[in-house]
Amino acid sequence: MFLRRPKAQEVGTLPQWRLMWRQFRRHRLAMAGAAILIPVYFVAIFAEFFAPMSSSTANTSMTYAPPQVLRLSGEHGPHVYGYTTERDPKTYQQTYTEDPSKVVEVGLFVHGDAYKLLGLIPSDIHLIGPVSKGEPFFLLGADQNGRDLLSRLIHGARVSLSIGLVGVAASFLLGMLIGGISGYFGGGVDNVVQRVIEFLMAIPTLPLWMALSAALPTDWGPLTRYFAITVLLSLIGWTGLARDVRGRFLSLREEDFVTAARLDGVGRLAIIFRHMIPSFASHIIASLSLAIPAMILGETSLSFLGLGLQAPAVSWGVLLEGAQNVRVVANAPWMLAPGVAVVVVVVAMNFFGDGLRDAADPYGNRKVSRRGRRRRAA
């Protein structure tokens, strides 16, 4: 009789990525955050296709048009009702009422505004929209210029979400490099770096953002201003991570495994990147998961104050700038939809990052492995 060789799963030696995935799946809030973030980023990447129309398409006769209700029943198939407008002779305020006699048929994969998907592939196919191009179609209402708020919200997601990833990537490199040098070498190098970090952290964040943003030339285009805002947020956001990394390096450089690697002739960079940094990967993940929402909120705040991205650029902060007036919010509350999107995405990112931190925690993985071995032994 031949003896079967036990598999890795049966002896509790699962690969690291399998242990991380198992731990991550048990974090329900993290799975909920991933279920929100993955579709949101997918829609943001292909924003031109998912948006019913271009972000600049305007119908000046439909300013602040209320949201339309998508109806799926009836002889017309999917449709929305058009508007009947009236203007108050005293206040000149335009009011809208649904007109069942004006039926706007809605379809999937319809022809609409032309665009280039990912800037490369020309097309005019949109996932959803009016069958007849030019018909009023405002599922989330219209803004002050009669532009579809849903389309602008989708287009703005690409800018607001990407600026967080790009900004965090830049601040991550600065924080890891400067914090690692400070903690590994110590002494005079550590003193100089820490004094610089303390000086930057002592400056109030919002006034510093306002000063740096106001210093940008006004004749810069939207794309140039986008990269400038990303660089500004990165230059401000690296100090916290650098200080955390410095503290970890100070505690790890005297550990036995670091001393053994040093005595074995391993170079300094190899010790830092192959031995020290992986030992606190969970802490790095936690810091990054909190930094991305902070970057998104930073861009939104600057654009809301008129100091960040400006029209014709479209971001969630630029869209919220149109909701600064109390009268606008009272008469057109759908203008706050970008704020709701910011809250949902930031909360989902925090949940997702919390799950990644727990999954990357070696002690948590060890508990999972031991618990699995005890269950199999029983």
Q: How far is CA 305 from CA 106, 257, 300, 319, in A?
A: 37, 50, 9, 11
pLDDT at 315: 84
Q: Under CATH, domain 153-368 is a member of which superfamily? A: MetI-like (1.10.3720.10)
Q: Which parts of the chain sit beneath pLDDT 70?
A: 1-17, 74, 91-92, 209, 212-213, 222-223, 282, 306-308, 361-378
Q: Using CA of residue 217, residue 218, residue 223, residue 225, what is the dihedral sign?
A: positive
347 backbone dihedrals φ, ψ, rounded to 5°: -65, -40
d(CA 165, CA 163): 6
d(CA 250, CA 253): 6
Assign residue 77 a region (left: φ > 0; alpha: ψ between -120 and 50; beta: otherwise): left
pLDDT at 274: 77
pLDDT at 344: 92
Interval 299-354: pLDDT, tens: 777 777 766 677 777 888 888 887 777 777 778 888 888 889 989 998 998 888 88
pLDDT at 16: 65
Q: How many CA atoms lie within 13 A of 61 on its CB side?
A: 8
pLDDT at 49: 92
pTM, full prediction:
0.78
Spans of all domains in the chain? 68-137, 153-368
Kindly tell me the burial class for residue 327, based on how many C-beta atoms sit within 10 Å of its own C-beta (0-12, 13-18, 19 or more): exposed
* Residues 6+ away with beta carbon under 8 Å from 87: 93, 94, 95
d(CA 183, CA 4): 50
